[in-house]
Amino acid sequence: MARLDRLVSVQQVAQVGAALGRQFWYELLHAAAGIPERQLNDGLEHVNAELLYRRGVPPNAQYTFKHALVQDVAYASLLRANRQQLHARIARTYETHFPEVVNVQPELVAHHFTEAGLTDAAIEYWQRGGDLAMARSGHAEAFHHFSVALDLLTKLGEKPDRAAKELESCVKLGPALVMAKGASPEVEAIYKRAVALKVGEDSSVRFKALWGLYYCSLASGRLSDVCGGEGGLNLQDDGRQPP
């Protein structure tokens, strides 16, 4: 860090860049850094000379850390509270200044909200990323995004809408898992978890959870386990089509 400590502006630029990622654009750095442009350029001049590769000319320049270790050291120099504040600022910067990136890569915003500790916003964007990946047939990617959203939900604590959000996340994750692994025990576990959530008894989301569990039981030859007995599924006369 001796080189980074030469100028405050150098350290700030390196830290913001490290939080943005191995590669970042000048415009995004400028918007997220929160420092005067002259100070930003002064810091970039020193950082670029020793730590970064530059392609293009500001404001259309792209920067890449020469070594991942350099990025890691710069990022590690941030105190936890400052790191969370920086990630929150980056996420808001995407929302405010780069809506086209938000629409195409919502998982980028989700990552920064996650690192900022803003869990509700992070869940929303991970789910948006998962929806977009499913629309593109990126099932492995969707599985990751929905899984992260579901994991974050378990850390929310008790909130009035938590169960409803968990149900929604489960039924989003289910199809991604089916496409990746078929009617596996993991898929069945997700749908059982969804059905066990006593919310939205008459909702289309709950119907998807019930249908998912029905599908798993049908595919595994254990249909009677689900349809038989008190509380079993009755989808035959429901009139609705499977999701």
Give a three-class secondary structure readout of the chain.
Answer: CCCCCCCHHHHHHHHHHHHHCCEEEHHHHHHHHCCCHHHHHHHHHHHHHHCEEEECCCCCCEEEECCHHHHHHHHHCCCHHHHHHHHHHHHHHHHHHCHHHHHHCHHHHHHHHHHHCCHHHHHHHHHHHHHHHHHCCCHHHHHHHHHHHHHHHCCCCCCCCHHHHHHHHHHHHHHHHHHHHCCCHHHHHHHHHHHHCCCCCCCHHHHHHHHHHHHHHHHCCCHHHHHCCCCCCCCCCCCCCCC
Predicted local distance difference test score (pLDDT) of residue 161:
83
Query: What is the total count of domains within the chain?
Result: 3
**Do 11 and 72 belong together in one domain?**
yes
**Do 217 and 234 belong together in one domain?**
yes
Predicted local distance difference test score (pLDDT) of residue 220:
64
Predicted local distance difference test score (pLDDT) of residue 236:
45
**Do 90 and 53 belong together in one domain?**
no
Picking from 55, 78, 101, the residue at the C-terminal end of a domain is 78
- 33 occurs within a structural domain: yes
Predicted local distance difference test score (pLDDT) of residue 49:
75
Picking from 29, 63, 78, the residue at the C-terminal end of a domain is 78
Predicted local distance difference test score (pLDDT) of residue 119:
95
Q: Which residues of the chain have pLDDT under 50?
A: 2-5, 228-232, 235-239, 242
Show the domain range for 49.
1-78
Picking from 78, 102, 136, the residue at the C-terminal end of a domain is 78
- 87 occurs within a structural domain: yes
Predicted local distance difference test score (pLDDT) of residue 212:
86
